[in-house]
Amino acid sequence: MKALTTLVLFAILIPAFSQTRITGKVTDATGEPIPGANVLIKDSYDGTSSGVDGTFSFVSEEKGPQTLLITFVGFKHFEQVVELSGKDITIVATLKEEINQLDGVVISAGSFTAGEEKRRTILKPVDIAMTAGATADIAGALNTLPGTQKVGESGRLFVRGGDGSEARTFIDGMVVLDAYGPAAPNTPSRGRFLPFMFKGTSFSTGGYSAEYGQALSSALVLTSKDKAEMNQTDIGIFSVGADVAHTQVWDRASVSGKVQYTNVQPYFGLINQLVDWTKAPESFESSAAYRQQVGKTGMFKFFVNFNQSSFSLFNHDILNPIVKQKFDLINRYRYGNASYQQALGTWTLRGGASYSYNQNDVRVDDKPMGETETGIHTKLVAEHSVSDQLEIRIGSEIIHRHYEAARYNEVLGGSEELSFSEMLSATFAEGEYYISNKVVAKAGGRFEYVNLNQSATLSPRLSLAYKPGKQGQFSIAYGSFTQSAQNQYLRMNTQMNPETAQHYIINYQVITNRKTFRIEAYQKEYRNLVKFDTANPQLISNSGTGFARGIELFWRDSETIKNADYWLSYSFLDTKRSYLNFPFVATPAFASAHNFSAVYKHFLSKMKSQVGLTYSFASGRPYHNPNRAVGEFHKDRTPAYHDLSANLAYLPKNNLIVYMSCTNLLGRDNIFGYQYSTSTNAQGHYESRAVRQAANRFLFIGVFITLSKNKSVNQLPNL
Amino acid sequence: MKTLTFLCALLISASTFASDKYTEQMTKHIHTVYTAKTTEEYQAAINALDRIALAEKTKWEPYYYSAFGNLMLATNENDGGKKDSYLNLALAAVEKGKAIAPTESELIALEGFVHMIRITVDPATRGQQYSGMAFQSFGKALGINPNNPRAQALMAQMQFGTAQFFGSPTTEACGLANKALQQFDTHKSDNPLAPVWGKEMTMELLKQCK
C-alpha cells in the first residue's frame, strides 16, 4: 500500500526532474539582435522574452517532441520542432522580416492619396473639405495640388496639359459619367459628389493602375464610407439654399438620406453679376446610401443620387450687345452605384454596377437642342494574395454608353438627331511584388475592345518604387492610356479611334510624421487626337498629336507653426498640340506654364475657430486673336491669374458650426481668355470680349446643425 | 478502497492544481501589467499573457490583459506610428478575446478604449470617426452590463474630453464619473481575474471636475 502511494507520488514528481533548459538568441536577417521577442513552447505556459541582446533562456517541463515558437511584431513566425528530454537545447533563430505595406515602400509616382486610416497620406478628407477657395468641392481642393492647372471658367480638373474631359471620376471602382454639374457658359461647374461621402480619395495625375481606363490624364478614385456609426440628423441653412440629412444605424447596416435645395437668385439679387440671368441657377438634389455588412468580411454598398438643375440667361452679341440670344437649360441627372466586396481566405472578390443618366435639355431662342447620355458599367475583380510579397489582381468590365443629341436644323426647321451606342469591354491583370520592404514593382496590362469602331488596344502599365532609407523614396512609372473621342466628335463619326497618351514619370518623396516633400517630373505623348479643319468640320480624323512635360514640387508642413498647417504647390508645364482645328502645333488655351498654390489653415482653439487662406497663381493662358495672321495662332497670352480666398469655421457649440467663405478677397478682375465676334465690324476688325469671373467674389455663409444622442458630433468633417 | 479514494483525491487535486496554475500565473502577470513602469516590463508581461492565451483556448482574460498592456504602451508612446502599432496589437487581442467571449462587457469597453486612444494620434482627422466608434463601444458595454464601472468611467472620460475640446459644460460628463466612482465600490465580480483598474483614473477626472 505504502509502496503504491510512493509510486504515485513519484510519478507525479517525475516531471520536476525532467526539465529541459532551452537557451538561444533571436536575430533578424542581418544578425541584429531582436529584444522582446516572445519565445515559447506551443500549448504550454513555458517560455520567455528575449533580452536586450536577443538572447533567451528558459526551462520547460514538457516532454518529447514539442514546437518552439518565436514571434515578434513585423517579423514572420519562427517555428522549430525540438525534442525535450532533459538535455539542454540551444537555438539560434533568424526571423524573416514581414512585408509591411503600411510603413514599407509604396508606389507614389503620379498619385496623391487622402484617407482616414493611413497616416502616410498627403491629404486627409477634412483637408479637402476645409480648403479655402475650394468651397467644399473635391476638384476645387485638388486644384491646389501640383499637376493641376487653374482653368477658372471651368471648375474641372485639368491635369498636366490634358483638358477637363481627360480626367475621370470613379466611385468604389465604378465609373461616373458626367461627374460635374451643369454650369452657365464660362462659369465654373462643381463636382456632383460632396467630399464628406468618401473615406478615401486617390487623385492620380498619371501612371495609374490598369484597373482604370478611359482616362487620358487623370483618375480620381473615390472610396465611399463604410457603415455609419450613429444615428444623426444634419440640418444646413446657407446663403444659397438649405439641406437636411438623416442617418439611421442598425447593428450591421446603415441608411442615410439627404435632400438639398439651392437657389442662387436671392444671392444674385444682392451681388451684381456679369451674366444676364433671366432665371438664376436652381437645383434640387436628393441622395441615399445604404450599407450592409454581410458575414465577417462582406460589405454591400448602394448609393443613388438624383439631381435636377436649371437656369436661363441671355447671351449678348459681341459686335452689337443689344442683339441677344436666350439660353435655357434643364439638367436631369441620375446616378446609381451598387458594389459588393467579400474576402475569402487569401482571395478578395469585388464587383459592382453603376448607372449614369445625364440629360441636358437646352433651348436656344426656344429652339430645342440638347443631349442625353446613359451609361451602364459592370465590373468584377478578383484579388489574390499569393504570398505576403506577391499580390495579383484580375478583372473584367463592360461599359455601355448610349448618346443622343438633338440639333436644331435651320433648313429643315426642326431638330435632327445624332446618336451612337458604344460598348466597351476590358480585361485587366496586374501584379504587385514586394521584393523587400525597400523595393516594390507593379506590372500590368489592360486590354480594351470598343465595338463602335472595332478598335482593340493593349495598354501596358509599369511602376517601381525604391525606399533606400526610413523616409525618402523614389518611384518611376510608365503607362499607356486610351480614351474614346469626345461625344461631340464621336457622334459625327463613330469610326473615330480612341485617343492615346503615354506617361513617363519619375518621383521622389519624403514623408515624415507631419511634413511632406515631393518632386516629380514627367513626359507625356499624345497620339490619335481628334483633328479637323474649321472650314470643313465634317472631315474629322485621328491625326492629332501632342506632348506635355513638366516638373512639380509639393511641400506640406503641419509641424513648424503651432496649430497651423500649410502646403505649397508649384507646377511647371510645357505642352503643345496639333489637334481640333489648330492650324499647327500650339499650346492649348487651357494650359498655363506656371501654377502655384499656397494653402494655410490655422486652428484658434480659444476662439473655437479654424481660419483658412488659399492663394493661387497661374501664368497667362494662350488665346487666339483672329485679327492676327494665321501663323500667329495662340500667340497672345491673357494676364496672369491671382486669387486669394479665405474661409472661417466657428463652433459656438458642439453641434453647431457657422461657416463663411469668400473667394478672391482682393477683388482681382481675372481674365480667362477672349471671345471674338464671328464677323468683322465696320473697320474690318473682329471685336473681342474678355471671359471674366461672373462676379469678382463669391461669398458663402452657412449654419450647420447636427442632432444626435451624442452631442459632441458636428458636421465639421462634412464641410 | 482507501487507495482508490486517495488516487481520486490526488487526481482531483492535480487537476485543480492545473487550473490553479492558470489563476496563479494570470494573477502574477496581471499584477505586472497594472504596475509595470518600463516598456520591457510591459513587454515581458504581454509576452507571458500571449503564451497563456495560446495555450488556453477557451479563456478571454489573457487576451484582455495582453490588449490592456499594449494599450498602456500606446498611451506612454509619443510617436504616432508606434502608437498605432501598439493599438493594432491591442485591437487584435480584443478581437481574439471576443471570439471566445463575444458578450463580455469588459472586452467591449476595452475595445472602445482602443478607439479612444486612436483619436489622440490625429484628433483633427480621426476625431469624428473614432469618437463615434468609442461611444458606440462604451454604450454597447453598458448595455450588456450597466454596472461595469470601467465602461461608465470611459464614457465619462470621452464626454469630458469632447466637452473640453469644444469648451462646453462638463456637468454631464462629471455626473457620469461620479456614478462610475460609486460603481467601483459596489460592483464586485465572481471572477477572480476580472479587471479592477480605472478607479484612480476616475478620481483624476473628478479632480478636474471641481
A214/A153 same-domain check: yes
Q: Provide the pLDDT for residue A710.
A: 59
A158/A30 same-domain check: no
Residues B200-210 pLDDT 10s: 999 999 998 87
Q: Is residue A712 scored above 60 in pLDDT?
A: no
* Nearest CA distance, A556 vs chain B (angstrom): 16
- 3-class secondary-structure state, position A439: strand
> Per the CB < 8 Å rule, is B81 touching A608?
no
Closest CA to A372 of A387, A386, A357: A357
* Nearest CA distance, B55 vs chain A (angstrom): 4
**Are A73 and B50 in contact, with CB atoms under 8 Å apart?**
no
Q: Considering A29, A64, A95, which residue would you say is the last residue of a domain?
A: A95
A126/A194 same-domain check: yes
Residue B89 in grid coordinates: 496589437
A563/A455 same-domain check: yes
List chain B pLDDT tens, one digit each, 210 residues: 455 555 444 444 444 444 688 999 999 999 999 999 999 999 999 999 999 999 998 999 999 999 999 999 999 998 888 898 899 999 999 999 999 999 999 999 999 999 999 988 877 767 777 888 898 899 999 999 999 999 999 999 998 888 877 777 888 899 999 999 999 988 888 899 999 999 999 999 999 887
How many whole angstroms separate alpha carbon A680 and alpha carbon A682?
7
A349/A325 same-domain check: yes
Which CATH number goes with the domain that contains A83? 2.60.40.10
Q: Provide the pLDDT for residue A289.
A: 95
β-strands A594-604, A609-618 pairing: antiparallel
Q: Which domain holds residue A57?
A: 16-95
What does the DSSP assignment read for A503-533?
A: EEEEEEEEE-SSEEEEEEEEEEEEEEEEEEE
In a domain, A6, yes or no: no
A56/A150 same-domain check: no
State the average pLDDT over residues A367-385.
Answer: 94
Q: Provide the pLDDT for residue A706.
A: 84
Q: Is B121 near chain A, with CB under 8 Å?
A: yes
In a domain, A104, yes or no: no
In a domain, A178, yes or no: yes
Q: Who among A8, A43, A712 is closest to B55 (CB)?
A: A43
Q: Is residue A697 scored above 60 in pLDDT?
A: yes
Superfamily of domain B104-210: Tetratricopeptide repeat domain (1.25.40.10)
What does the DSSP assignment read for B73-128?
A: HHHH---HHHHHHHHHHHHHHHHHHHHH-TT-HHHHHHHHHHHHHHHHHSHHHHHH
> Per the CB < 8 Å rule, is B125 touching A651?
no
In a domain, A130, yes or no: yes
Percent of chain A with pLDDT over 90: 62
* Nearest CA distance, B92 vs chain A (angstrom): 12
**Are A228 and A256 in contact, with CB atoms under 8 Å apart?**
yes
Q: Provide the pLDDT for residue B17.
A: 46
> Per the CB < 8 Å rule, is A513 touching B79?
yes
In a domain, A7, yes or no: no
Q: For chain B, how far is it from start to end, CA to CA, in angstroms?
A: 70
Interface of B with A in 134-163 (CB under 8 A): 135-136, 159, 162-163
A224/A315 same-domain check: yes
How many whole angstroms separate alpha carbon A519 and alpha carbon A570?
10
How far lies A527's CA from each of A19, A486, A565, in Å? Answer: 76, 15, 41
A179/A67 same-domain check: no
> Per the CB < 8 Å rule, is B166 touching A608?
yes
Average of per-residue pLDDT values in chain A: 88
How many whole angstroms separate alpha carbon A58 and alpha carbon B46?
17
Give the distance from CA A204 to its chain's centroid. Answer: 7
Q: Is residue A122 scored above 80 in pLDDT?
A: no
> Per the CB < 8 Å rule, is A71 touching B50?
yes
Which CATH number goes with the domain that contains A401? 2.40.170.20
Residues A507-566 pLDDT 10s: 999 887 778 899 999 999 999 999 998 788 778 999 999 999 999 999 998 888 888 889
Residues A255-273 pLDDT 10s: 999 999 999 888 888 888 8
How many whole angstroms separate alpha carbon B178 and alpha carbon A140?
48
Residue with cell 481674365: A671
Domain limits, chain B: 21-102, 104-210
Residues A600-615 pLDDT 10s: 999 887 777 889 999 9
State the average pLDDT over residues A93-117.
Answer: 72
pTM of this structure: 0.82
* Nearest CA distance, B165 vs chain A (angstrom): 8
Domains contained in chain A, number: 2
Q: How many CA atoms lie within 13 A of B25 on its CB side?
A: 23
Q: Is residue A253 scored above 80 in pLDDT?
A: yes
How many whole angstroms separate alpha carbon B181 and alpha carbon B175?
10
Q: Provide the pLDDT for residue B3.
A: 54
Question: Which contacts qualify for B85-91: CB closer than 8 Å, 24 or more apart?
Answer: B85/A73, B87/B114, B87/B117, B87/B118, B89/A73, B90/B66, B90/B114, B91/B67
Q: Which of B39, B84, B128 to mutate to test the interface with A (most CBs of A within 10 A)?
A: B128
> Per the CB < 8 Å rule, is B132 touching A713?
yes
Residue B45 in grid coordinates: 508581461
Q: Is residue A124 scored above 80 in pLDDT?
A: no
Q: Provide the pLDDT for residue A512.
A: 79
Q: How many residues does chain B have?
A: 210
Chain A residues near residue B136 by CB distance under 8 angstroms: 229-230
B199-209 and B171-186 helices, crossing angle to 10°: 150
What does the DSSP assignment read for A625-671?
A: -TTS-GGGTT-EEPPPEEEEEEEEEEEEETTEEEEEEES-TT----E
A54/A151 same-domain check: no
β-strands A253-263, A276-294 pairing: antiparallel
Taken in order A581, A583, A585, A589, the sign of the CA dihedral is negative
A570/A697 same-domain check: yes
How many whole angstroms separate alpha carbon A159 and alpha carbon A166?
8
A82/A226 same-domain check: no
Taken in order A203, A209, A215, A221, the sign of the CA dihedral is negative
Higher pLDDT, A90 or A108: A90
Q: Which of A2, A46, A49, A250 to mutate to test the interface with B (most CBs of B within 10 A)?
A: A49
Q: Is residue A719 scored above 50 in pLDDT?
A: no
> Per the CB < 8 Å rule, is A608 touching B167?
yes
Q: Provide the pLDDT for residue A657.
A: 85
Q: Give the largest Cα separation in chain A, rounded.
A: 134
How many Cβ atoms sit within 10 Å of the Cβ of residue A433?
16
Higher pLDDT, A9 or A204: A204
Chain A residues near residue B167 by CB distance under 8 angstroms: 608
In a domain, A557, yes or no: yes
Q: Provide the pLDDT for residue B14.
A: 43
Closest CA to B65 of B88, B82, B48, B78: B48
What phi and psi values does residue A391 have, to the nearest 5 degrees?
-130, 130
Q: Is residue A118 scored above 90 in pLDDT?
A: no
Chain B residues near residue A43 by CB distance under 8 angstroms: 54-55
A174/A52 same-domain check: no
ipTM: 0.84
Q: Is A92 near chain B, with CB under 8 Å?
A: no
Residue of B nearest to A655 (CA): B166
Q: Provide the pLDDT for residue B10.
A: 44
Q: Is B133 near chain A, with CB under 8 Å?
A: yes
Q: Provide the pLDDT for residue A715.
A: 52
Closest CA to A530 of A494, A566, A569, A503: A494
In a domain, A1, yes or no: no
State the average pLDDT over residues A675-701.
Answer: 90
Size of interface A-B (CB pairs under 8 A): 98
Closest CA to A274 of A313, A238, A323, A326: A313
Q: Provide the pLDDT for residue B33.
A: 93
Q: In what order do the strands lie in the sheet with A89-95?
A: A55-60, A20-28, A89-95
Residue with cell 482508490: B4
Residue with cell 442617418: A247
> Per the CB < 8 Å rule, is B14 touching A230?
no
